[in-house]
């Protein structure tokens, strides 16, 4: 992550809470954010972070996205970066694409219509 992007994002990242259970990790939010982006971009397991040099604790970085999401961290940088792209008209929306995996759908599907077959069954003659 370059220094310019980090200067925008750093003030938005909350520090680790004082009363959080367990040991307090090192306050290396930049390294942790880089680790999160690496895991998301490369689709690797959090456990693999501890095997590579230059990465923080996979366990500590695994906890942070939930805490940062609760604090609204991911929405703020998104708005800031969109505003920067939109200001000089660098954002071309004519070629936008929507990924269906990010669109919320109804919970559960309708059960299939029940077909009653009369083949092989005898209808009772009541007359």
pLDDT at 9 over 70: yes
Average pLDDT of the residues in 9-28: 70
Token pair of 16 as six digits: 């680790």
Q: How far apart are CA 26 and CA 32, in angstroms?
A: 10
Q: How far is CA 56 from the centre of its chain?
A: 19
pLDDT at 58 over 80: no
pLDDT at 11 over 80: yes
DSSP helix/strand/coil, 18: coil
120 contacts 126 by C-beta, under 8 angstroms: no
Between the CA atoms of 27, 30, 33 and 39, what dihedral angle is there, to the nearest 10 degrees? -100
pLDDT at 104 over 80: no
Token pair of 105 as six digits: 């759908």
80 contacts 8 by C-beta, under 8 angstroms: yes
pLDDT bucket at 102, cuts 50 / 70 / 90: low
Token pair of 107 as six digits: 């919970």
pLDDT at 120 over 70: no
Average pLDDT of the residues in 67-78: 79
Token pair of 121 as six digits: 């069954």
């Amino acid at each position: 992550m370059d220094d310019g992007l980090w200067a925008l994002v750093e003030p938005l990242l909350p520090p680790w809470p004082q009363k959080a259970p367990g040991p307090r990790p090192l306050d290396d939010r930049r390294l942790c954010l880089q680790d999160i982006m690496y895991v998301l971009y490369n689709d690797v397991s959090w456990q693999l972070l501890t095997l590579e040099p230059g990465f923080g604790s996979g366990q500590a970085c695994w906890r942070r996205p939930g805490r940062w999401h609760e604090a609204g961290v991911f929405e703020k940088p998104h708005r800031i970066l969109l505003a920067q792209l939109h200001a000089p008209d660098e954002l071309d929306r004519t070629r936008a694409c929507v990924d269906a995996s990010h669109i919320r759908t109804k919970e559960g599907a309708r059960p299939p219509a029940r077909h009653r077959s009369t083949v092989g069954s005898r209808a009772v003659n009541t007359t």
